[in-house]
Amino acid sequence: MKRVLLFLSSVFLLNSCALLSTKGMTHDLQIGAYYYDGWASDKSSALTQKLLNQYADRMPVWGWRDDSLEIMEQQIEIASKNGIDFFAFCWYWADDQGPFNEKVVKAEPAHTSLDLFLKARNKDKMKFCIMIANHDGARIEGEENWKRVIEYFADNYFSDSQYLTINNNPVVIYYLPMEAQPHVAEMREVAVSKGYNGLYTMSCGYKLDGYDAQTWYNSFNGKKESEAQDYESLFSWIEGIRNKASVNTVVAPLCSVGWDKRPWENVEKSVYYVNKSPSAFRKHLYRAVDFLNSRNTPNPIIMIYAWNEYGEGGYLAPTVGDKRGKFLKQIKNAKRYAKRKK
């Protein structure tokens, strides 16, 4: 009996030591890409003449229009095949600063791709979640309206089998989190009333009490007097902000494919980044993996800016100028790197 007890004690001690010595991510890395749906119409304000003519190399390989089920299924196939785990769709409130207008929300052209994703025959290949783009033109004000958001999401999105969850908490990203912060607890209660454990909330740009994690939509050196800057300096900027986060803060690091908003600007003098390369982007991804490992991050997530922000210069989707998707292919390299480091 003493030998048995000694053996069991040794096993318990070894297992305990193994748990204590565990480093790195405890779950598999998930990589998500923001999806901006401004391309559902030839008359879209996103399709400026400069974008169509001077920056025609940014046109996706399927053309500017993306409002067909066939094209959505093609995007799901390409994204999932190359390691993207989920799309984070931009979602817009209506009416601006007023009560919820469900009719307008459902007719919003910028929700077309989200609706198509829900109908896609191959959607089981990846997950999706929502980023609430509560900026000018889609402002949400007041506790009741924020609760209404979650009610609508629960009824229309959370119930879908492909909605991204963490421990039965639907993931919601907040673009301007300071406006939602006073109502996060009430929003969680709504999710609980709908049968979920709560919400997994991610704040963009700010570390605020009440949120589960901090992330970013995009980030760049915004000095107006600046013009061209080197692509790798964009990473230094992003990583410098990220690394300032408290060690007690769960961070979903941002990796940016680029920033060059000149097709949408009225003036040429705005910061933009040159000398882009897939190898530089790969290093940026690897450093994000190292950051997550250094913090033993549970449920590790990397957010990519972006899948299709063609007007702002941040896009992974294959384009006329990158038909082979050389930047997109770096996602799988990052996944392999994460497994080696785990």
pLDDT 10s digits, 256-295: 999 999 999 865 667 899 999 999 999 999 999 999 999 9
Residue 41 or 142, more confident: 142
Which parts of 133-179 are beta strand (E)?
A: 165-166, 169-174
The yes or no reply on domain 26-341 and CATH 3.20.20.80 is: yes
Q: How many CA atoms lie within 13 A of 139 on its CB side?
A: 9
Q: Pseudo-torsion of CA 236, 293, 304, 69, nearest 10°? A: 170
Is 5's pLDDT higher than 50?
A: no
Q: What is the pLDDT of residue 266?
A: 65
> What whole-number distance in Å separates Cα of residue 238 and Cα of residue 281?
13
Residue 221 or 238, more confident: 238
Is 96's pLDDT higher than 60?
A: yes
Residue 220 or 279, more confident: 279
Q: What is the pLDDT of residue 225?
A: 64
